[in-house]
Structure formats: C-alpha cells, structure tokens
Amino acid sequence: MDKTSVFFGKIIVAQIVAFFISTYLIQNVFVGPIPEIRPDFKEEVKSLPQTIPQIIIDNVKKIPEMIEKTPEIVQRKPQNGIRLPPPWVPAPSSIPPESGPNPTNPPQQPPPQQPTVTPIQQPDTRPSPTPLFRLPTAFQRPTSIPTRPQIPTPTQTSSRQVPPPQGDVSLEQGMLNEINRRRREEGIHELTINQQLTAAARRHSADMGSKKFCDHKGSDNSLPPDRVRDAGYSGGFRGEDVGCGFRTAVAVVDGWWQSPGHHAVLVDRSARYIGLGWSNNYQTAVTGN
C-alpha cells in the first residue's frame, strides 16, 4: 500500500471514529428535554476501551475496498494549474420564415388610405420693396465662391491587423496527430490544418500564457469569432476548446476527449479545418468548415 493510500486511509478512519462517537453520544448519553447524563453512562464508558478497538478493526478491514472504489483522480497526485474551461460554440442560427402565401394565415390587407387635400395657395401680388441704393455692377459679389479641393483621406478598415504569434510547432503537430487518430477510431474524417485558424489559436494561447488566465475571452475582450475574423478566415466558425497547464499533447487531447462538450467540438462532422495554438503550456483548438 503506497503513501497515498495510507494517507487517505487515516482520514477515513478518523472520520469513522468521529462519526460513531458523536452518534453514540447523541443517542445514548443525552436524554430528556433537558440534556443530562444518564446514570448508567459510567458503566458504558468503562466498556468503551473494549468496543472501540473492535469497531476500528472492522472498519480498517474495509479500507482497501473503499480505496479501490475511490475515483482515480483522488488516488493520483493532484496536478496544480490544469484547467478546462467550458467549450465555446456559436449559437444556432435563426431559421428564416418561409416565403410565399400561407393559406392558414392569409396576409392582411392594409387599411385604405384617406385622400389628402392640399390647400391652394394664392400667389403673392404685393409689390416687392424697392432698395434704397444699388451697388455698381463692377462691385457685385460673385454668386459662386470657388471651394478648395478636398484631400481624400485613407479609409480605415474595421478589422484589426494582428501580427501572427509564434507557437510550439512540435506540440501543435502532436495535438493534430492525436485528434485525427481518435477521429479515425470513431469513423470520422481527419481535419486539415488551416493557417488562419492557427493564427487565431496561437494568438489566444499566447495571450493566456502571457497574462496567466484561462478563459475564452481574451485580455483585449476579444471572443473566438472576433479572433477568427481578425485572422482573415472566411469560412464558418464551428467551436473552440481551451486547455491550461497541460504538459503534453496527449494529456490535453485526453482531457478534451473525456469532457462531453469539448469532445463534441473535436468530433464535429461538419468541421473540415482546425487551428491549434500552444504557448507556455496554454492550448487552444479552433475548428471551422
């Protein structure tokens, strides 16, 4: 029995002993509306040294069985810093209504418009006032003033030009190989690496690794669709998985595969392309079609 099993065994024994002692005191020591010690309590206390060891022995025999039923995550040493935020998937698009007349709900006719009556304006027959003096024709102000030519200003584009960050190519390739291997085992076509999706994934992994956070929302408030659009990807965005603190490509893919939500993103049959980013043990996978 290793040190971990002994440690958890001691904790279980201490909890069992505390439970039995508290239950015994509540049920057998304190009686009546006003708690008071029973007169025969002294006799039972004298017998405790013989009964408690037997209870402990009986429960110690059950420790191996209890440890065997303990989940594997409790038996192994906890890995600090590993996190798996929920996957990011786009909301389902709304279905447009069908065109054409509907026999059950015929279109309503608009109410008839009332004719509008425009009053007839009488012409103004009053003589115009005569000016007191007139300027000479030579000093008449020109009717049109020439305007200065406008210098065209360059138009600004709404998309931000983000330089593509660098990633750990070997680990990214390892993730791709592991994802495609598991997709083949489930009878799904392989995913092809896409440079634009890879740039979006590397950008987010580098952001998380430098700022030490673990989330789909970037430090600049960018979301997965924003990063995909900024990278120049014109296809459909399918989803994003994020991992934080994993040390190997197999470990992060295994963590995604064991989570139903992350697994659904990686086995999406509509996805054709994938982008992978690995920076400072922060991982991002973006899929598209």
Domain with residue 274: its CATH number is 3.40.33.10
Q: What is the mean pLDDT of the chain?
A: 76
The string of DSSP codes covering the chain is --HHHHHHHHHHHHHHHHHHHHHHIIIIIEETTTTEE-TTHHHHHHHHHHHHHHHHHHHHTTHHHHHHHS-HHHHSPP-TT-B-PPPB-PPPPPPPPPPS--SSSPPPPPPPPPPP-PPPPPP--SPPPPPS----GGGPPPS--PPPPPPPPPPPPSS---PPPP--HHHHHHHHHHHHHHHHHTT-PPPEE-HHHHHHHHHHHHHHHHHT--SSS-TTS--HHHHHHHTT--S-EEEEEEEES--SHHHHHHHHHHSHHHHHHHT-TT--EEEEEEETTEEEEEEE-
Question: In this predicted structure, what is the pLDDT of residue 8?
Answer: 81
Residues 170 and 62 in one domain: no
Q: What is the pLDDT of residues 28-47, one digit of tens each?
A: 666 555 556 666 777 777 77
- Per-residue pLDDT for 94 more than 70? no
Q: Quick check: is 52 in a domain?
A: yes
Tell me, yes or no, whether 111 lies in a domain.
Answer: no
Mean pLDDT of 171-194: 96
194 in a structural domain: yes
Range of the domain at 36: 3-68
Does residue 229 have a pLDDT over 90? Answer: yes
Residue pair 171/249 in contact (Cβ under 8 Å)? The answer is yes
pLDDT for 212 equals 93
- Which span out of 79-88, 115-124, 147-156, 259-268 was modeled with the highest average pLDDT? 259-268
pLDDT band for position 57 (cuts 50, 70, 90): confident
Q: 76 lies in a domain?
A: no
Residue 61 placed within a domain: yes
Proportion of the chain above pLDDT 70, given as a percent: 64
Last residue of a domain, one of 19, 42, 68: 68
> What's this model's pTM, rounded to 2 decimal places?
0.52
Residue 112 lies in a domain: no
Residue 141 lies in a domain: no
Please say if the pLDDT value at position 130 is more than 60: no
pLDDT at 38: 65
Query: Where is the domain boundary, 51, 68, 85?
Result: 68
Tell me if 130 is assigned to some domain. Answer: no
Q: How confident is the model at residue 273 (pLDDT cuts 50, 70, 90)?
A: very high
Q: What's the whole-number mean pLDDT along residues 259-288?
A: 96
Where does a domain end: 52, 68, 84? 68
pLDDT tens per residue across span 105-128: 444 455 555 555 455 455 555 655
Mean pLDDT of the region 5-33: 77
Least confident of 15-24, 75-84, 146-155, 248-257: 146-155
Q: What is the predicted pLDDT for the residue at 145?
A: 52
Using the predicted structure, report yes or no on whether residue 289 has a pLDDT greater than 90: yes
Segment 70-95 mean pLDDT = 64
Instruction: Give the count of domains, the chain.
Output: 2
